[in-house]
Chain A
Amino acid sequence: MTQRLFWLRLAAIFIAPGLAVPLAALAIAAPADPLKSPMWENHAAWLFGKQTVVFDPAVQVLMPDVTENQRIFPVTVDARALSGVQRIVVLMDLNPLPVAIDYRPEGALGYVSLRIKLDQRTPVRAAVLTADGVWHVAGRWIDAAGGGCSAPPVSRVKGDWAQHLGELRGRLWREAEDQRLRVLVRHPMDTGMVDNIAAYNLETMTVRSADGVMLGTMTINGSVSEDPAFTVLLPKETKGAVAVHLADTNGRTFDGKVSAP
């Protein structure tokens, strides 16, 4: 950071002003990227603005060692080591749709699982905002063949996506420290990058307790896999059934009720 500013100042002094201005415009609050991603500065500028960013191993990003399927790549973000988690953003730097989800675990724990599409080798990261206004970032490079975002979903090829649209499955489990909620939704999650198939994806999910208390809200993008599957962890003391509400970009809504464990 300091070094970066030093070089920027040096550039400002020695380079013609016309060149120095665009360089200075790149000055952001984010520290240099340990993954050396070519898109880090760009994404950091619009995602984090002038907020403080730290690369923090307290955020665990659990992913397989092998990308068996670039269209369904599982990611688990465990930020329970941090207190006051406000948002969890899953970012794939080199994806055409770089953000998969923006999750606000309002009453829930700082933990989420999902499946994403990878359009090429890219860093996959989680950025976790805590109540003190600091973004905690972790992740690693994931190798993947191309086409995760630009090949049609299986249900489009089979042609049965509409018969199953919005079918919901799920269950709650009682665990030592929490209640685990798993939700599966049938949806083609079209990215808009396939010929003659317009973008069409789930865009929000909310989870409420039986008495209407908001437990979590999630913004969802087309880089989440076809037929999304999410795990969130709810407070241990959550009582009764849990209501899941989803909405997609065509204004359709899908509601589910998961019985108490």
Chain B
Amino acid sequence: MILSRRGALGLLAAAPLALPAATWPTGADAETFAGRYAIVPQPIGDGIWLVRGADEAIAFENGGAIANAVILACPEGGAVLFDCGPSFNYARALAGEAERLTHGRVRRVFISHLHPDHALGLAAFDPAIVSALPATRADLLRDANGFSDAMYRILADWMRGTSVAQPGVIVEPGRLTVGGRALTAMAMAGHSGGDLVLVDEASGTVLAGDLVFHDRAPATPHADLALWHKSLDTLAALPRRQLVPGHGPLDTDGSAIAQTRDWLDWLDTALHAAVAQGMDMTEAGQMPIPEKFASVKMARYELQRSVAHFYARIEDATLPRIDG
């Protein structure tokens, strides 16, 4: 519970798609109501749409809509969703757009990993159509209540109707079809304990979830950097036309994988160097960020979060004992 709360805080990241809340004047004591989620699907291939999240931190102003989601049309009618946002209302709005675009029902929802900006909307669906990796199911059982507390605290009215639910279907790695749409599911890890990657054959699109961030700094609350590296290597080797990162714009030239790897390498080296110089966590969080990351949004914010995730562990592992 504690750990999950901590993790939830950590996740709080991003938001362009949410409409601002009420525009009428609010007095100091006036209640602020949520706005409406504006789901804007961008076509990125044959029967595939990207719904961008805001490249920000989770905040009331963006309704928590900071993660990317993907809508896929099934040849036999209906839709597949990859991730479903932070709340019941987001997921409902996303499903509404998917049904409008595909003239059918949502057949299947894949949850990329446990983090609430991707997963908490799953309560809007019948668990029998919600799929996740076994590791993600276990992560959600442990952390979803804590995430929900943290998200209600920050997002308040945006979270209305959002309850904690679990995916009802386990994803087996390998080729699968939903409504005639052929997908390959891959079980990876590193950003979290279970990171689901889907490859859409028809459009040559890799749906990478939060293993890949693009021009938006990677979040590390449950990261294992060695495993994350392995997953990035696997992703880089996948034949593809394009890649949808968990946060940030569509990647068509492979630069997002390289950028994510570059950030994680810099982060690891910089945190070890900070410990070796005797910096405190406050000072490490203020360290200069290399110029090459100038285009990366939320860099300072994620650096400070990562300091909280890794710093004490690095100190424990590297500073010498002094008690004899």
Q: Indicate whether A9 reaches chain B with its CB closer than 8 angstroms.
A: no
- Residue-wise interface mask of B (275-316) relative to A, using a CB-CB cutoff of 8 A (1 in contact, 0 not): 001101111011000000000000011001101110010011
Complexed CA–CA distance, A67 and B301 (Å) = 10
Complexed CA–CA distance, A81 and B12 (Å) = 36
- Residue-wise interface mask of B (53-96) relative to A, using a CB-CB cutoff of 8 A (1 in contact, 0 not): 00001000000000000000000000000000000000000000
Q: Which residue, A64, A75, A183, A257, has most C-beta atoms of chain B within 10 A?
A: A64
Q: Are A231 and B278 also in contact (CB < 8 A) when A168-B322, A184-B315, A257-B322 are?
A: yes
Contact A68 B282 (CB under 8 A): no
Complexed CA–CA distance, A113 and B284 (Å) = 12
Contact B304 A173 (CB under 8 A): no
Q: Indicate whether A76 reaches chain B with its CB closer than 8 angstroms.
A: yes
Complexed CA–CA distance, A157 and B283 (Å) = 30
Q: Are A72 and B282 also in contact (CB < 8 A) when A67-B9, A151-B2, A169-B322 are?
A: no
Nearest B residue to A112 via CB reads B280
Contact A145 B285 (CB under 8 A): no
Contact A229 B312 (CB under 8 A): yes
Contact B322 A170 (CB under 8 A): yes
Q: Indicate whether A167 reaches chain B with its CB closer than 8 angstroms.
A: yes
Contact B304 A75 (CB under 8 A): no
Chain B nearest Cβ from A88, distance in angstroms: 14
Nearest A residue to B306 via CB reads A68
- Residue-wise interface mask of B (112-144) relative to A, using a CB-CB cutoff of 8 A (1 in contact, 0 not): 000000000000000000000000000000000
Q: Indicate whether B6 reaches chain A with its CB closer than 8 angstroms.
A: yes
Complexed CA–CA distance, A152 and B149 (Å) = 18
Q: Indicate whether B237 reaches chain A with its CB closer than 8 angstroms.
A: no
Q: Are A147 and B315 also in contact (CB < 8 A) when A113-B282, A231-B278, A258-B322 are?
A: no
Which listed residue, B5, B150, B300, B309, touches A65 by the CB 8 Å rule?
Answer: B300
Instruction: Give me 8 other A-B pairs in contact (C-beta within 8 A), A169-B320, A257-B324 excluded.
Output: A64-B307, A65-B300, A68-B6, A70-B5, A152-B2, A154-B2, A171-B322, A256-B323
28 example contacts (A-B, Cβ-Cβ < 8 A) are as follows: A64-B304, A68-B9, A68-B10, A68-B304, A68-B307, A69-B6, A69-B10, A70-B6, A71-B6, A75-B282, A76-B280, A76-B282, A76-B283, A145-B5, A145-B9, A154-B3, A157-B3, A169-B322, A170-B320, A171-B319, A171-B320, A182-B278, A182-B280, A229-B280, A255-B324, A256-B322, A256-B323, A257-B324
